Amino acid sequence: MADIKESGIVGTVPFVKLGGCGNYSVQKTFDCGQCFRFSEVRSKHNYAVGGVAYGKYVIFAQDTPDDITIYGATDKDFESIWKNYLALNVDYDDIDRAIENALAPPYDCVMRAAVEASRGIRILRQEPFETLCSFIISQNNNIPRIKKIVAAMCEKYGSPISVDSSKIEYAFPTAEALVNAGEEGIFALKTGFRAKYILDCAEKIASGNLNLNEISTESSYEKSKLSLMSVKGVGEKVASCALLFGFGKTEAFPIDVWIRRIIDTRFGGSLDHTLFGKNAGIAQQYMFYYERYIQSHL
């Protein structure tokens, strides 16, 4: 399992260098459509992404599949936030094996190919409110534009985080801040017909009508999904994505146009995702990545 090999400070920025990360791919993990707040940054490392989560600006840098360096984090931050966020406390070797063997021939072969293409992807444990709002924004939208809208929302209504003397980042807004923004304020961010959905979501959270902490600890997956679907504009798919990426519910199996497509073209039109059990959401993410990978490499 991942642990700290070295920690210190460069300039004013604390960092931790990790080893034992397994076959982690920072690039695939942050480029597979689950997270809209990180983007590639230049560094001395092989690959690095920077962004805000849990109110902190951090950079995740990587040179080999086994190491990750986190800038903007102390040892304590790693233990209390980033280990869980990056899913470094989860054994993906076992999960990958289970996914490869979950289906009967010939469909096991499709899953083997999907696992192989997706090697190194981890399901992040993102913040519940941010994740729910982000996937409301995602509906009938594409990934680059979702990122733009979320960034605009943070800049306009999130609290500033000073990175260094010349750079300011922004946290994701609180529910209260979005309620104060109102439907016009949210619409002005180019959210279109989703503005009223985001407002309804923020209102239900701010009023206590919907409690995301309770949903996190709710043991019944169906109940937690129905709770999220009480928000206007949150249907099966958005609720599943939020539960998978923001609430740790790995049995969720969101079906979007890409998953629909791969089921139609490579699984004979139907797929019983409960065969994957608690790994359904991870299998789904591999399928999503694989199908998009194939499309972009034709």
| Residues in touch with DNA (CB under 7 A) | 32-34, 135, 138-146, 187, 190, 192-193, 229, 232-239, 241, 254-259, 284-285, 288, 292
Nearer to DNA, 257 or 298 (CB): 257
Amino acid making up residue 26: V
- The letter for the amino acid at 164 is D
Distance separating alpha carbons of residues 120 and 24, to the nearest angstrom: 4
Give me the least distance between CB of 134 and DNA, in Å please.
Answer: 9
Q: In terms of CB distance, is 62 or 138 closer to DNA?
A: 138
Contact 58, 22 (CB under 8 A): no
Q: Which is nearer to DNA, 62 or 285 (CB)?
A: 285
**Minimum Å distance from CB 5 to DNA?**
31
Contact partners, residue 74, CB within 8 Å, separation at least 6: 7, 14, 16
| Nearest to DNA of 72, 281 (CB atom) | 281
169 vs 61: CA distance, rounded Å: 18
Q: Which two tokens stand for residue 237?
A: 């798919």
Q: Supply 143's token pair.
A: 């990934």
- Name which of 63 and 256 has its Cβ closer to DNA: 256
Q: What is the Cα–Cα distance from 277 to 274, expressed in whole angstroms?
A: 5
In the complex, least distance from residue 146 CB atom to DNA, rounded to whole angstroms: 7
Instruction: Return d(Cα 110, Cα 265) in angstroms, integer.
Output: 11
In the complex with DNA, the residue whose CB is nearer, 175 or 259, is 259
Helices 107-118/92-100 angle, 10° precision:
150
Compute the least distance from the CB of residue 197 to DNA, in Å: 7
The smaller minimum CB distance to DNA, of residues 158 and 233, is found at: 233
CB of 225 vs DNA, minimal distance in Å: 10
Least Cβ distance, residue 201 to DNA (angstroms): 11
CB closer to DNA out of 18 and 121: 121
Kindly give, in sequence order, each residue whose CB lies less than 8 Å from that of residue 70, ignoring residues fewer than 6 positions away.
15, 16, 18, 58, 59, 60, 61, 77, 78, 82
Peptide bond connecting 106 to the previous residue in cis, omega within 30 degrees of 0: yes
Residue 152: CB minimum distance to DNA, A: 10
In the numeric block, the tokens 């989560």 are attached to 53
For 37-67, give the DSSP string. SEEE---SSSEEEEEEETTEEEEEEESSTT-
Number of residues assigned to the chain: 298
Least CB distance to DNA at residue 19 (A): 28
